[in-house]
Structure 1
């Protein structure tokens, strides 16, 4: 079965080969493992994060015109951002959140393609 060619680490300036999730051994941090024991806690913490961010912001931080309806991570969790810290959150309207997510994904894909 064919496999993908090796690629370089996604972290800017790092030239090591990626070993997992596009990162080298130095920059790779494993995802939090979910289990039957912590699923409810994760949901509670996620709801608390969302409500704290939306309560704090109220209006979209990007455009400042519409009500904030989505809690977005300023620094994506995949890039090392804190998952449940409201300081890493911002309230966005749906169109601004979609636009931000698309641009982050496009940048991540361009970085992977450069290899």
Structure 2
């Protein structure tokens, strides 16, 4: 759109670079999408995972924390990033989306602050 004001150029967001840019980082230092993606999950959703997930949801058809029966997700009790088994049925539980987010947030905080409080269920 012509006539739209633009930000004045500023230094690249990389501390070592002196290049001027209007987008935070110069072309050379743009971050790649998914560059920091966890390697624990591997290739992501596969037919094997979808089958395993369906079996686990059939075995445990409601949220273990609140009993909800919709919006269910399969959660690893011991996260894959901490060495938990991806395929062990004893390492998974069914949680509703809201509780899965709470549990995942607690897992992340525990990884970044190992001396912090444990999980609260």
Normalising by structure 1, report the TM-score: 0.57
Q: Which runs of 5+ in 2 are unaligned?
A: 1-13, 16-38, 116-121
Q: Which runs of 5+ in 1 are unaligned?
A: 3-29
How many equivalent pairs are there?
78
Q: What displacement does 1:52 show?
A: 1.2
8 A Cα contact 2:40 2:80, kept in partner? no
Match of 1:72 in 2: 75
Structure number with higher strand proportion: 2
Higher RCO (Cα < 8 Å, 6 or more apart): 1
Match of 1:110 in 2: 113
Match of 1:47 in 2: 50
Structure number with higher helix proportion: 1
Q: What displacement does 1:48 show?
A: 1.6
Dislocated runs of 4+, deviation >4 Å: 30-34
Match of 1:95 in 2: 98
Say what the alpha-carbon RMSD is for the aligned residues. Answer: 2.7
Cα deviations by residue, 1:52-88 (Å, 9 ceiling, x for unpaired): 1111111101122x11610111111111111122221
Q: What displacement does 1:31 show?
A: 5.3
8 A Cα contact 1:52 1:86, kept in partner? no
Relative to structure 1, is the Cα distance of residues 106 and 57 closer, same or farther in structure 2, using a 3 angstrom cutoff? same
